[in-house]
Structure formats: C-alpha cells, structure tokens
Amino acid sequence: MREDSGVLTKEQSHVLTKEGTRLFIKEQAGELIKERSRGLIKEQSHMFMKDRAWVEINLQNLEHNVKVLQERLPQGCELMAVVKANAYGHGDVEIASYLNKIKVHSLAVATIEEGIALRQAGIRGEILILGYTAAEWAKELYQYQLTQTAVDVQHAQELNRYGKAIKIHLKIDTGMNRLGEDYRHVNAIASVFQCKGLKVTGMFSHMSVSDSREEGDIAFSYSQQEHFLTLIESLKERGIAVPKLHLQSSYGLMNYPDLRYGYARIGIALYGVYSTIPGKGQGLFNLRPVLALKSRVVLLKSIGEGESVGYGRAYQSEKETKLAVVSIGYADGYPRSLSGGNCEVLIRGYRAPIVGRICMDQLMVDVTGLPQVERGDTVTLIGRDGKEEIRAEELAQKAGTISNELLSRLGGRLSRRSCPIGKMGN
C-alpha cells in the first residue's frame, strides 16, 4: 500500500478502518520520525493524522518522572500519583493504567465518579478520593474498594453508619482552612479510631504555601508541619496506632524533602510540569513534560492592509498578511484569555503569533514569512517542534493562571494519543 516514501497517501489512508487507522497512525508516527531524523523526508504528518485537535501523551516521560520523583522520596515513602481531573487533562485511564504497569499502586482522585471509572477500567491498588463524598455513596465506596477522605469527624461518623468497613484517610486542617478536622480537636479525632465501621488506613493534611520561598510562607509551612506532628504525638500518647501519614504534594516534596511520611501526593510534577515558571535557583527536579497539545492548519488566506480578523475586529493588519486558521479553540480548553496579546504557536518549527480573538473552535495565526505553510500542517500549542518549545508554564503565565488549571481544562473534545516517540517534550 505504501509509496516509496513509506507513508500512505491521503487516499490510501482513507480506506483503512477506524481501528486500523489508529494502529497505523502509531506505527507510522514512529517510522516517520525515524525517517525525519535521518533527514529523509520533511514534515508530512498531515498525511496520516485526521484529528482536528489532540493531545499527545509521552508515557516514557511519565515513567522518567516517576523514577526521578521516587528517587527523591525518603525511604519507606510511597509515591501517591494524583490522577484527578482526568489526570490533569492527560487522560486518567491511560495514565493510571501505565502507572499500574510500572508498579505505582497508590492513586488519588477528586471524586467518587473518577474513582469508579478507574476501577471499571481495571485499575488496581489504593485509590484515595481527596474530595468530599456524601455518605449516601457508602455502598459504592465499599463495592469499588475506594478509600474515602473523611473531611471532618462528623463525616467519618456518617460513613461509619454503613455497617461494612469503609476505608478512610482522615484529613486534618493544620491552617489551610479548607477540608479537614481542626488539628486541635484531639479527642474528636481520637474517637474516629474507635469506629467499628471504618478502617482508618491513613491520616493527612495539606500545605497551602509549600510552593513559596518567601520567609513568612516558609514559617507558615513549618507551623503546619508542627501542628500535624503535635497531633500525631498526642494520638500516640493515647495508645492509638497511627496509620500511614502524608503531607506533601509536588512543591512540598521539592521544598521540604526531609519530611518522612508514608506517602507523598504528587500531581503536577508527575506530568513533568511546574505550576509556574520556576524562579532562578529553585531546587528543580529533572522532569520531562508528558503532554503536547496539537492542532492543524485548516485554511490559509491572504488579507490586505487594514483588514480585520475575527470577532470584535480585535486585530487589524498593518500590511498584507498571510493567515492560517487553526482548528482549536476555547471549547477545547485553550484559554480565550490568550487572545490578542503576545501568544504564539509553533508551525514548521517556527513561532507564529495568534491574531484576533480566539474563537470557540478556531483561532487565527499570522504566518506571513513562514516557509510554505500548507493546509493540514501540524500546529503545536504546547510542546516542541524542532528547536522551538512552548511550555505549559509559559502559556499559563500569559493566561494569568497556573499550569495545573491550564492542563486540567483541556477538554473532552480533544482526542488523546500515545506518542511512540521517546524524545517528545524533552
């Protein structure tokens, strides 16, 4: 079926079945990259990819990040991989399956629905639900062997009434004032360990400024750690067998690596990304981005001087301009707030500015002066193309948010594909 280039023509690829196409795409992507790296062919990815907008997931980079993070954990501390919010936009089933495959068996989600979906997909090990789940769900918690966060003592008592032992981790509020029982309520906290309808397999707290290197914030983080420790000591004095404990998330591990607990709950770092662009001298880990966000050029057109582009006529050309219309928009999770400023995409290894307002399903890019842009060309919105790279942190900053929000909002309309290319995002 192939031509001499080793790549199917558009017509040939159309005769494949959907499943066949998927397999073919994976295989071809690998071959194409090999050939490209040998300089045999130029950019031809549009010949075999039909999707309008998609994320590419590099599982090798995920594995690399897991190793880097595990090396940083103190002895006896287990990595709890946070895969809530569709694994921060990466695809929770795929990420969790791969984590299981590389022997990561502690996961955290935000909701019971996320937990059930993972179990139904065959995910094994402990799945901790970090958010509140009403006691009316007790049957499902038990049935799917999910571990529920008790968000305060009353919640624990409600779960206790189900009659069959539900696994919980008791959350302690040490100063964030979000979920958790106040660390000073030692008697009430101690009473949870007497509940016959509960298996208390963990107790944890969350630090609210562990990412900050400001003096006052560091002092606050130490005070949270101290409150947690004081409670633990009080419980031990009462003869309570204290379960597995955890306090750190990604920045907690980065900035307070000496804490010795049973788990560290790692989200954003697992995906090879920092929440914000790291400051100089910050103790960084050698992480690799797992996700790339891509789309396509679907239309090219030339406009004259003084013509406007898109809604609100927010952009007016100062000279004759070549425009590429790209098939991704804010309904895919690419923030509208990136419109009309200094935001760029990558096409054929070059940066090209977004012009006009980002629409729900499309955006427009100025490709004047870019060599030979064609319909079907791949557009990289997050990730690497040649020597250029756009990182999630850079986009998040421009959108006035953190990469956690940017990634976790990448929408269900995007297709997700595993990238067989070892080097993506390095």
Ligand X SMILES: Cc1ncc(COP(=O)(O)O)c(C=O)c1O
Q: Could you give the residue numbers annotated as active site?
A: 84, 311
Q: How far apart are CB 100 and ligand X at their closest, in Å?
A: 19
In the complex, the smallest distance separating the C-beta of residue 326 from ligand X, rounded to whole angstroms, is 29
The residues that bridge with 54 in the sheet, in sequence order, are: 294, 415
Q: Is there a contact between 274 and 254 (Cβ–Cβ < 8 Å)? A: no
Residues 6+ apart with CB under 8 A from 66: 79, 81, 99, 102, 104, 270
CB 171 → ligand X: shortest distance, Å? Answer: 8
Question: Which residue type, as a one-letter code, is found at position 336?
Answer: R
Binding segment for ligand X (CB under 6 A), chosen from 182-190, 230-238, 264-272, 306-314, is 264-272
Q: Using CB under 6 A, which of the segments 56-64, 262-270, 315-323, 364-372 binds ligand X?
A: 262-270
Cβ closest to ligand X, residue 58 vs residue 149: 149
- DSSP-based three-state secondary structure for 306: coil
Is residue 403 close enough to count as binding ligand X by CB under 6 A? Answer: no
Burial of 397: CB neighbours in 10 Å, binned 0-12, 13-18, 19+:
middle
- Binding of ligand X by 209 (CB under 6 A): no
Between 56 and 211, CB nearer to ligand X? 211
> Would you count residue 417 as binding ligand X (CB under 6 A)?
no
What backbone torsions phi and psi does residue 174 show, to the nearest 5 degrees? -110, 15
User: Where does residue 194 fall: left (phi above 0), alpha (psi -120 to 50 degrees), or beta otherwise?
Assistant: alpha
| Beta-strand pair 147-150/166-173 | parallel
**β-bridge partners, 380:** 294, 346
- CB of 72 closer than 8 Å to CB of 94: no
244 lies in the site for ligand X, by CB under 6 A: no
Of 82, 138, 293, 419, which one interacts with ligand X (CB under 6 A)?
82
CA distance 262 to 203: 10
CB 304 within 8 A of CB 320: yes
Nearest-5° Cα angle at 54, 300 to 309:
30
CB of 265 to ligand X, least distance (A): 4
Instruction: Report if residue 296 touches ligand X, rule: CB under 6 A.
Output: no
Q: Is 326 left (phi over 0), alpha (psi -120 to 50) or beta?
A: beta
Question: Does residue number 172 form part of the binding site for ligand X (CB under 6 A)?
Answer: no
Does residue 250 interact with ligand X by CB under 6 A? Answer: yes
Q: Which is nearer to ligand X, 321 or 408 (CB)?
A: 408
Q: Which is nearer to ligand X, 86 or 317 (CB)?
A: 86
- Options 249, 317, 321, 403; binder of ligand X; rule CB under 6 A: 249
Residue with the CB atom nearest ligand X in the bound state? 267
Nearest CB to ligand X, comparing residues 255 and 404: 404
Question: CB under 8 Å to 158, separation ≥6 — which residues?
Answer: 135
Residue 265 or 288: the one with the smaller Cβ distance to ligand X is: 265
Minimum Å gap between C-beta 358 and ligand X is: 26
Among 81, 268, 355, 402, binds ligand X (CB under 6 A): 268
224 counts as binding ligand X under rule CB under 6 A: no
* Those residues with Cβ within 8 angstroms of residue 11's Cβ, 6 or more apart along the chain or in another chain: none
Quick note: the x/- pattern for ligand X over 130-169, rule CB under 6 A, is x---------------------------------------
Binding residue (CB under 6 A) for ligand X from 167, 206, 416, 417: 206
**What residue has token string 């360990």?**
193
Interaction site with ligand X (CB under 6 A)? 82, 130, 206, 249-251, 265-269, 404
